[in-house]
Every structure is written in C-alpha cells, then in structure tokens.
Chains A and B, each alone.
Chain A
Amino acid sequence: MTDLDYLKMSKWARLAHSFVGFFASIPSKCRDGFKKLGLWFVRLFRSIADNLVDLVDTFVKGDWKTRLSYLVMGFGSFARGQWGRGLLFFLFQTVFNLYMVNFGVAYLGKLNTLGTLETYREGRRTIYGDNSFFILLYGVLTLFFVLAFIYTWRANIRQNKVSQQILDSGKKLKSTKDDLKSLADEQFHKTLLALPTLGVLVFTVLPIIFMILVAFTNFDATHQPPSKLFTWVGWDNFRQLLSSDSASYGDTFKQVLFWTLLWAFFATFLNYFLGMMVAIMINKKGIKLKKMWRTILVMTIAIPQFVSLLYVSKMFAQDGLINTYLMKWGWIASPIPFWTDAGWARFTIILINLWIGIPYLMLIATGILMNIPADLYESARIDGANAFQMYRKITLPYMLFVTGPYLLTSFTGNINNFNVIFLLTGGKPLSLELSGNAGYTDLLITWLYKMTVNDTNYKLAAVMGILVFVVTAVINLLVYNLIPSVKNEEDFQ
C-alpha cells in the first residue's frame, strides 16, 4: 500500500489499519526481538571476554599495589592515598565475606531443592528443619549480593588501572576531599539516587523476583514454612490457572479477566467523556459560581475513599437507605439487589465509580480546555457550526490528542483499581460456578488479594500477578504502537 492510499482512508480505517498492522507485524517483531536478543548475548559474551583480557592485562602490567588489590579490595586506593575510596571498597568486601561465610553459601547451596530437612516433633518439642521461604528469599538476596560484589570488584580493579595511568603521566590523583566535593557536583546524581535506588532494589525488585520464582513452586496453604517445605514444580501452577478441566481455574480466570477488561473500559471511557462534559458545562461562558461547582465535585477526591466508599456501599445495601426510601415512597415493591445480583452489582459499581472519577477528569479537562485557542471556536462559529459540531471537530480531537498518554495510564490504573471493588463489594456476589473463591465483581487484582490473604494460596497469587503484568504490558505495547500514527496526522481543522 502506498502512502497515497493510506492518506485517502478515513480516520477509523486508518486506526483499523494500524491495528491490523500491529498484529501482522508481531511475527516479524518477534524475529527482530530474537535477533536483538542474540546480538545482545553476543555482545555480552564479547564484553565478558574483553573484561577478562583486561583483568589479566592489568595484573601483568600492574605494580604490587594493583596486584594486591585483586585479593584485598581497595588496597591500591589506600596505598595511593585515596583512603576514602579504599575504605569503602574494603568495607564492602568485609561485609560481603562475613555474609557469605555466615549465611550466603548455605542458602545458595539449598536453592536448587529449597530445603530437604522436614520439621518434625519429638515428644513435645518441635525440631525445626529447613525453611523454604527464607532459603528462597535469602538465596535471591545472595545472588543480588554476588552480582554486586563482582561489579564492585571489577570497579576496584579498573580504579587501580586508571590511577596507575594517571600517576604514570605525572598528574595527581583526586584526594578524598575532592571525591566528597564531587558528590555535590559532578557526581551529584549519585548522591540523589543512592538511597531511592537501594529502597527500590530491596523493597520492590527483590520481592518481585521472589514472587516470580514462587510462581514455579508449590507454596500454598498445605506447604507453609516453617512447619512444611515447599519446592519447585515447574509450570504446574500456570497450567492449573489457565487450563479448563474441572480441577483447574481456567473458566473462572476467563470470567474474571473478561470482567476486568470490561470494567477498565467502562471506568476509563465513561469517566473520560462524562468528566469532559461536566468540565465543558462548568467552563461555559455565562455560567456563574464556577469555583463552587468545582469544589463540590472535588470533595470525592479529598475525602478518604475508605470513608466515602464504605458508606456508599452501606447506602446501597439490601437494608440500606436507598432501598428503604424507594420502598417507603412505593416506587419498588422489594429491595433492588444492588450487591447480591451479579448484573446489578457490576452496573452499580460502574455507576458509583463515576462519582469518584468524574471530578478527577473534570479537573484535568478544565486545564486543557482553557488552552484550546479561542479563535478556533470563533471561526467555527462564523462558519455556522453548532455546539455539538464544535465539540466533535475541535474539543474532542484536541482533548484526545493531549490526553492520549493519560487515557492509557488510566486504563492500566483501572485494571488494578483495588479500592473501588474491595470497598464496595469485596468481589461479591460469590457463586458456585466460579472456583477459587472468586466473585462476579472480582478483578484480577482483588482475586489476587483474596488468594494471598484468605486462602494463603501464594503460588497462584504469584501466577496471577505475572498474568496481570502480561495483560497490562500487552495493552501498553499495543497502544504505544497505535497512538503515534494517530498523533502525527492529527490536525485541528
């Protein structure tokens, strides 16, 4: 297809074209990906080889200070007067050695079985055996540590090489004072990022890797440390969650995934369009008390959700205010099953979510609407466009153009929108047709929560977490591949 054909198509045809194009390009993209991965490996091996050569080279050409640094990290720096760097290297090595001797080696050794010594009782005493949980957790931590050590050790050698070269060329080395000073200047990013990075590594990266590994074990209610061991089971958990024979969760998973996507779609787009409408109404010329309307709506953002949503969920309960008043006024004969009927519950959740979501969108849209050049509307009005035409041709394209990325993050956010579901229904109504304690309003994320907290079925929770990641990643990739093509052609005429 030539560019000319493409330009002839309508906007929707173009979107459909890029949609199809995206899926059609998956095989070739995969091929490219593998090729890139292959190249990456080649480069990795080459760089390892280079590093090894350089290590030998440095050792051969190095003086005794450098050579001793291969064993005692930081010795070279010390000997050349950079005691600050030397001390850091040396401390790191000491901590690492102590850790490895006392814990690390033992945990690493058991990582392949996750422990073999069972806990047993001898009369009244409980003799604790291996704890699979800690073996896995500290095993991963130790691997982190080893990688960090290799990196630091390499840096220590390189440091010696560079220092030697600088001294050979007759220049002076940086003193510790200079090093400290540079932390506020050239190396300022290290000062800023050191703590946050450490925090993320320990409290985000480590737990995520740990849980990804748990997905391949049988860690659940019947295999709970410290009394029981758990071990590697390969892809079994994925099979259990995805295949649809009677002992598996496949059908329930499909059902929950369907509702998750449906919910995310409605929660994102209904809020988006209605919020925009409200913003347009409030911003219209001639409407007074703009600030008051905005403030009233914003109340739902300000008040903590556990107060407002819990209260609203009680309002819609079988014996709640809504039902009792509707019955008092004689509008209905029996209470509406807001939370007990699957269809009603889903509808009510989406409805109440508008109450939370519209104000947010209203704020965003207000900011953007003010930025639309007024002369666009002026000329449209002169051309005789009515309000709806102006909305469709000017406001909407402009909004979509500017808030495209926001829509995407909001969609992913809604897939993981725990609060609204958990506080309103807790996933209910439950059903015998669904397995794994899932209810008809459960999202993947609330189901994951239930599996963790109620059923302590950690292995399936871990698999679920990975699948949520896959779903959001696919959607993100899809949209990133679609949006630019829409964006480039957008012109507000």
Chain B
Amino acid sequence: MSNNKQIPEVDIVVDEKAGVIREIKPEQKLRSKSGHEKRVNVGIYTILTLMAIIWLAPFVFLVFQSFRSYLTENGGMVNYLLPKTWSLDNYIWLFTDEKSLFLRWYLNTLIIALFNAVLQTVIVLSVAYALSRLRFKGRKLIMNAVLVLGLFPGFLTMITLYFLLKQLGLTQNGAIPGLILIYCASSGMGYYISKGFFDTIPKSLDESARIDGATRFQVFMKIIMPLAKPIVIYTILMAFMAPWGDFVFASYVAFGTTTNYNVAVGLYQWVNVADYQGFFTRFCAGGVLVAVPITALFLALQKYYVEGVTGGAVKG
C-alpha cells in the first residue's frame, strides 16, 4: 500500500476578503472526478429503483388481486395480474355477507391489541426501570434467569399454556382474554431495549430529585417518564402490532370457535385450510384491510421504531 500511496496535491488560495490563506478541502478537489462520481450514483439509483420495485411489487399485486371479483371472474389464483374488470365485490363480501366473520375477527384483534398495548407497556417499562435504575438484592439473579429462560423455544410450552388457560376457562369462548393474559404474562422478559434506554439517562437527575425529597415512585413518574417518551411510544407500537400477526398460538387457543379467531387465524385458514381457490381474492382484500392501518401507523411512528431498534442492537 505504501508504494502506490498518492501524495495529495494541496491547492492554496488566498481568500482576500477574509485575509487568510485557505486550503482547498479534498472534497472540493474531488469534483474533478465528477464523471466517475456520476456513474457511481447512476448505478446506485438503478439498484435502488430495482429494489424498490421488488419490495413493492408483492404489495401492489396483492392490492390488484383484491379488486378482482370472485363473482364475475375467479376467486382463486389466476395466471394474469390485472383484473379484467375492477370491482369491490371482495370487500363488499367481507363486510356484508352472512358467512363472513371478518368484522368480528377484526374487532377481536383490535381489542386484544389495545389491551396488550396498555398492559404490556406498563409491565415492560416497570421491569426495565427497576432493573436499570434501582439496585436491590436479586437483581443480577433475575437478569440471568431471564437470559436462560429466553433460550428455550417459545412453542415448547404451548400445550402447557393451553391447559393452564383451559383450567381458567380462557380457551375457545374465552380465547380473547386468554390471549391477552398470555401475551402480557411473560412480556416482562422483553425488557432489554427499554432498559438500554433508561441506562442512558444520567443518574444525577435521580439523585438531585431524591435530595429534594422525592420518593422513588415520584422520580419514576415525574422525572424519568417524561424523558422516556420515545421508548414509551416504541413499546406501545410493538405491543399493539404483535397481536395482528400471531396465528399459531391464537389458533391453538381459539381452536374450533370461529367467532373467537383473530384476524390472522381467520385469514390463514381461508388460504390454507378452506378451499382457497374460492377464497384467495377475499384473503387479499382482508389482507389489504389489515395491512393498510397497521402500515400507516408504523410509518407515522417510524422514527421511534428506528430509535428503539438501533439502540437495542448496539447495546445487545
């Protein structure tokens, strides 16, 4: 490397107004290479455009197919992309047909998601705060235990949880409170990202408040919480979004009672269990109706998601 090291030419200009000698920065110097630079940029734009197409294509296709009528064309999979006539039949079916439980499923999921967002946020933030800023006997023990427990695969305990819920009467017809209970009960174990955030808030804030006579509870509510807005929003967002995608445990708990399915279970069985040739376009329409609000919410709060994710990744 030392042999072909280029010695940079240093251009010096005299800036008469300021009366100083100024060195032209290397960046400015690079403009002479603009031809190369431009070619690189064109290459990057090409790659990014291609990626954008690949990334968006499935979603666009999904929307297209949701507008293909199951009545006049075909409700299954077809070998063309654009519907021959655009229709809202699938959407109308979802909302008005007697056999469609879509609205019910949607409501179920919404209820679960809302409860989950509140309860899980309270639990996660409590645990994270306690482990991050309070010092007590057994703190290390709790953290190590959570670490070890986290290495067990989640589905291992599925049947046990099912029977525990069954004992409490929270399966089948009680599936919705049952799911909320399960989602929240173990959520304390997911404290890492929030703890990482609390760790970055200076300790001196607590100390000065404590000297002024505040209790630890007051420090938590009045000093730390207002500063923790990003992580609160991140936690709420994650807790709200998770139930929309859960079909494994939800289908296990609600087994057999179609009115207590969440939207993921319902739509999943349309594609895989029921004769999907008739239900494919309806699945697409349902998928669009689930994806649009969730995506909008996510994109609106993207900033907080990025903060949480990058913070979590760096601290491990």
Measuring CB to CB, which residues of chain A are less than 8 angstroms from any residue of chain B?
A: 133, 137, 181, 184-186, 188-189, 191-193, 195-197, 199-200, 202-208, 210-211, 278, 281-282, 284, 286-287, 293, 295-308, 310-312, 314-315, 317, 319-321, 324-325, 328, 355, 359-360, 363-364, 366-368, 378, 381-384, 402-406, 408-409, 412, 416, 418-419, 422, 444-445, 448-449, 452-453, 458, 461-462, 465, 468-469, 472-473, 476
Contact B152 A208 (CB under 8 A): yes
Contact B48 A281 (CB under 8 A): yes
10 A-B pairs besides A197-B188, A306-B247, A469-B152 with CB distance below 8 A are A188-B134, A192-B127, A199-B188, A200-B186, A208-B157, A304-B294, A311-B58, A355-B54, A405-B316, A465-B155
Most interface-central of B48, B268, B271 (chain A CB within 10 A): B48
A298-B248 contact, Cβ under 8 Å, with A188-B216, A189-B130: no
Q: Which residues of B contact A137 (CB under 8 A)?
A: 160, 163-164
Q: Which residues of B contact A181 (CB under 8 A)?
A: 215
CA distance A200 to B150 in the complex (A): 11
Measuring CB to CB, which residues of chain B are less than 8 angstroms from any residue of chain A?
A: 4-6, 8, 26, 30, 37, 41, 44-45, 47-48, 51-52, 54-56, 58-59, 61-62, 77, 79-81, 123, 126-127, 129-130, 134, 136, 139, 142, 146, 148-149, 151-161, 163-164, 181-182, 184-189, 215-218, 220, 241, 244-245, 247-248, 252, 264, 267-268, 271-272, 280, 283-284, 287, 290-291, 294-295, 298-299, 302, 305-306, 309-310, 312-316
Q: Which residues of A contact B287 (CB under 8 A)?
A: 307, 310-311
Interface SS of chain B: helix, strand, loop or mixed? Answer: helix
Q: Which residues of A contact B80 (CB under 8 A)?
A: 324
Q: Enumerate the 8 nearest inter-chain pairs by beta-carbon distance, A residue then B residue, closest first.
A: A405-B316, A196-B188, A367-B310, A465-B156, A207-B157, A199-B185, A207-B160, A302-B298
A sample of 11 cross-chain residue pairs with beta-carbon separation below 8 angstroms, ordered by A number, consists of: A186-B216, A189-B136, A193-B127, A195-B126, A197-B188, A211-B160, A307-B290, A321-B77, A363-B306, A405-B316, A465-B156
Cβ-neighbour of B151 out of A321, A403, A473 (below 8 A): A473
Cβ-neighbour of A281 out of B44, B161, B185, B216 (below 8 A): B44
Number of A-B contacts (CB under 8 A): 262
User: Nearest chain A CB to B146's CB is how many angstroms away?
Assistant: 8
CA distance A468 to B150 in the complex (A): 11
A203-B161 contact, Cβ under 8 Å, with A308-B58, A363-B310: yes
CA distance A458 to B155 in the complex (A): 11
Q: Which residues of B contact A308 (CB under 8 A)?
A: 58-59, 62, 291
User: Nearest chain A CB to B29's CB is how many angstroms away?
Assistant: 10
Q: Which residues of B contact A197 (CB under 8 A)?
A: 142, 188
CA distance A206 to B152 in the complex (A): 13
